[in-house]
């Protein structure tokens, strides 16, 4: 069903932010920031999102939860300024850490 001009004008725009991270030189080649950003932007566009901000942490381990861009992103989410975050892969966001002696499922 095609929307009228008025319906199209009042249709809510879905907004999102992007998050990308690389830590080591070898990851730059495999999961390079430019390729992550290209894929994230394409995904957002395909799914009807308007990207309002990009958060990038270069040279930080996934185990470091104090990364500068991640900290800013976390603050926006806590303040409910951001509803949708798109990431390339969950390991770009944070490393899964289990208590010592615990086996993954």
Q: State how far the alpha carbon of 26 is from the alpha carbons of 11, 17, 22, 29, 31, in Å.
A: 43, 26, 9, 6, 8
Contact 73, 19 (CB under 8 A): yes
Predicted TM-score (pTM) of the model is 0.73
Which pLDDT tens digits describe the chain residue by residue (105 residues)?
Answer: 566 565 555 467 899 999 999 887 555 566 688 889 999 999 999 999 999 999 999 888 877 888 999 999 999 999 999 889 999 877 666 665 555 555 544
* SS3 sequence of 39-95: HHHHHHHHCCEEEEEEEEEECCCCCCCCCHHHHHHHHHHHCCCCCCEEECCHHHHCC
What residue ranges define each of the domains in the chain, with the CATH number in brackets? 13-93 (3.40.50.1390)
């Amino acid at each position: 069903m095609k929307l009228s001009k008025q319906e199209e004008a009042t249709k809510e725009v879905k907004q999102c932010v992007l998050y990308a991270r690389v830590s080591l030189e070898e990851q730059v080649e495999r999961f390079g920031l430019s390729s992550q950003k290209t894929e994230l932007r394409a995904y957002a566009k395909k799914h009807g999102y308007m990207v309002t901000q990009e958060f990038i942490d270069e040279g930080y381990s996934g185990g470091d939860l104090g990364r500068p861009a991640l900290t800013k992103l976390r603050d926006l989410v806590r303040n409910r300024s951001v509803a949708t975050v798109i990431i390339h892969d969950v390991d770009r966001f944070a490393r899964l850490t289990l208590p010592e002696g615990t086996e993954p499922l």
